[in-house]
Structure 1
């Protein structure tokens, strides 16, 4: 078990490493602009909360359920609150990454608003590829 101060230091280090990683990826992909800084800061806040919850959940041994006794005295299993929080913040983290254009869903989108095609370049439709199955289908459809 780590102390609260040690957890805060670990989270701060991971958040700084994540910031550097995100900026490097965005610069390498040439999608970084200064207007994305508020989104990046928002993502880093979400990442920090996620890491805090994850570390607390990890230290407890990743329990998926906890026992709860209601007013009538019945004891039931319920989903552990940290498990719920980690799941919620992981979803928020994914949505923030999507807004930054760093997920597979957003691969077709261009975040900066510019076109991926140069001005002097024409877009051409790719030639149809006829594989063995398509050739076989066409053979029997013609009769």
Structure 2
């Protein structure tokens, strides 16, 4: 079984990681855990005229690693193996695409991410994932 856990560094995303850790013993076989962080594409428009691609890629890696840090630490402390990936794009589309590419059996995610004004303007990532994927999605409060 493959379980995808999208992580954005929020408390809600961490609750999803903690839920998986606390309930993994209920599964018959140990699942393959996949962490995914999606970075918004900042290299739009004329940005590339002023900042080179290597700097932009470094920014994505740095921000993604920071967002994944708590989730990775929790999984390491629980001695659970996992893989992680940092993607660039629109979060909901990237989550649905990665779930399909990796043929995951379930997506486990917090009911909302970093939210706030961004969620009001862009819509809920969770809501969009639910509409974009045919994979089972478990929402953790």
Structure 2 length-normalised TM: 0.29
Radius of gyration: which is bigger?
A: 1
Which has more helix, going by share of residues? 1
Q: Scaled by the length of structure 1, what TM-score is found? A: 0.29
Q: Which has the higher contact order (CA 8 A, sep 6+)?
A: 2
